[in-house]
Amino acid sequence: MRFLLRRLGFYAIALWGAITLNFLLPRLAPGSPLDGLMSRLSPSQLAANPHMVDNLRAYLGVQKQPLLPAYWGYLKQVFSGDFGISTSNFPTPVSEIVGRTLPYSIALVGVGFVLAFLLGTGIGMIAAWRRGGIVDSIATPALISFGAFPAFFTALLAVYFLGLKAGWFPIQHAYGTGITPGPNWTYAKSAFHHGVLPVLIIVFVFAGGWLLNMRNVMINTVEEDYIALANAKGLRDRRVMTMYAGRNAILPPLTGFASQFGAAVGGLVFIEFVFSYPGVGLTLQQAALGSDYPLTQALLLVFSVCVLVANLIMDLLYVVLDPRVRTA
């Protein structure tokens, strides 16, 4: 319990840090972001929305308001879920755009990352158990090299060879043209079909990291006395590998979850960009190109919160897996 409370406390502080960073960034940026923005807005947009400039000014912190009240106002806005109006998709509220795009990204990165974890740790376990065996000498270097490849290069290669040349997968967007998103079978099938390749890429890019971590820890674990004892007792080999060595070796890699997941979220931006996949990653890239600061800021916060939530889930899992933290 104390472990979880401590983690929760840290996440609260981390969330506060992310929000504060978000608040400070436009104020620290050299030059006025507003000028860049104004030059991109069309006069008709401005004429139609006389309050927009004021809103933007408030958002970007360029109005003549003392820092502390502005900060307080920003905190209140964030916690009421009000992120303002997107300037590149004017006049759609930022929260609506996030709500529309986030499910796609969560589906991609959720499925992809869990599969990468299972595949990576599974193969890492076998690789360490039979060091120098077939799995270790083929899968280890292959997955590790894949993991070192830039995600966008892998994605481009996959689009070219598996999508364009082989024609196995659709190469653009999240569902076929002419299909309306909704709870119907055609949409579900199309969305699944479009999601397979991006998910596969996430799996192959991120399995290597898990494999390496697992293998490195497990190499130490297999030399422990209790493994020798379990073997001496005559337990089946597979049981010793999974329930004795693997069970203990899985804990340290899990603590590296935060940075791994953060990297996966970064990879997601590239993958969505290559596939024109309408998730938060592509939206972030386009918002950044279009200097849509309300949207980029909200998305940075969304990304941070997603990572925090994923970490929290991992901590809960950790409590289940490691009895020692339950009593500590």
Partner 1 sequence: MATVIPELEPAAPIALPSSDRRVRVPRWAVLLLRNRKSCFGIVVFGTIVGVALAAPWIATNSPSDIVALPGQPPNRAFPMGTTDQGYDVFAQVVWGARQSLGVGALAALLSTVIATTLGLLAAYSGGWVDDVINLVTNVFLVIPTLPLLIVIASMVENRGPVMLVSIIGLTTWAVEARILRGQAMSLRNRDFVLAAKVAGESRWRIVFGEIMPNMISRIAAAFLLVFYIAILFEAGLEFLGLADVNRTSWGATMYWAQNNSAVLQGEWWHFFFPGFALALSVVALVFVNYGVDELANPRLRQRTRRLGILRRLFA
**Site of interaction with partner 1 (CB under 8 A):** 10-11, 13-14, 17-18, 21, 25-26, 29-31, 33, 36, 131-132, 144-145, 148-150, 152-153, 156-157, 159-160, 164, 171, 216, 219-220, 223, 258-259, 262-263, 265-267, 269-270, 273-274, 284-285, 287-289, 291, 293, 296-297, 299-300, 303-304, 307-308, 311
Closest CB 36 distance from partner 1, rounded Å: 6
Pick between residue 188 and residue 312 the one whose CB is nearest to partner 1: 312
Q: Before 91, cis peptide (omega within 30)?
A: yes
The string of DSSP codes covering 247-280 is HHHTHHHHHTHHHHHHHHHHHHHHHHHHHT--SH
Closest CB 187 distance from partner 1, rounded Å: 24
3-state secondary structure of 93: strand
Pick between residue 203 and residue 280 the one whose CB is nearest to partner 1: 280
Please check whether residue 45 is in contact with residue 52, taking contact to mean a CB–CB distance below 8 angstroms.
Answer: yes
Pick between residue 48 and residue 148 the one whose CB is nearest to partner 1: 148
CA 71/CA 157 separation, integer angstroms: 45
Please check whether residue 104 is in contact with residue 174, taking contact to mean a CB–CB distance below 8 angstroms.
Answer: yes
CA 56/CA 160 separation, integer angstroms: 41
**Token digits of residue 324:** 């020692």
Q: Could you report how far apart the first and last alpha carbons of the chain are, in Å?
A: 8
Pick between residue 11 and residue 90 the one whose CB is nearest to partner 1: 11
**Could you tell me where the DSSP H helices lie in the chain?**
2-28, 33-40, 43-48, 52-60, 67-79, 94-129, 134-148, 151-158, 185-221, 225-232, 237-239, 247-249, 251-255, 257-275, 280-289, 293-321, 323-327
Pick between residue 85 and residue 264 the one whose CB is nearest to partner 1: 264
Pick between residue 83 and residue 185 the one whose CB is nearest to partner 1: 83
Closest CB 139 distance from partner 1, rounded Å: 15
Closest CB 171 distance from partner 1, rounded Å: 7
Closest CB 307 distance from partner 1, rounded Å: 5
Closest CB 17 distance from partner 1, rounded Å: 4
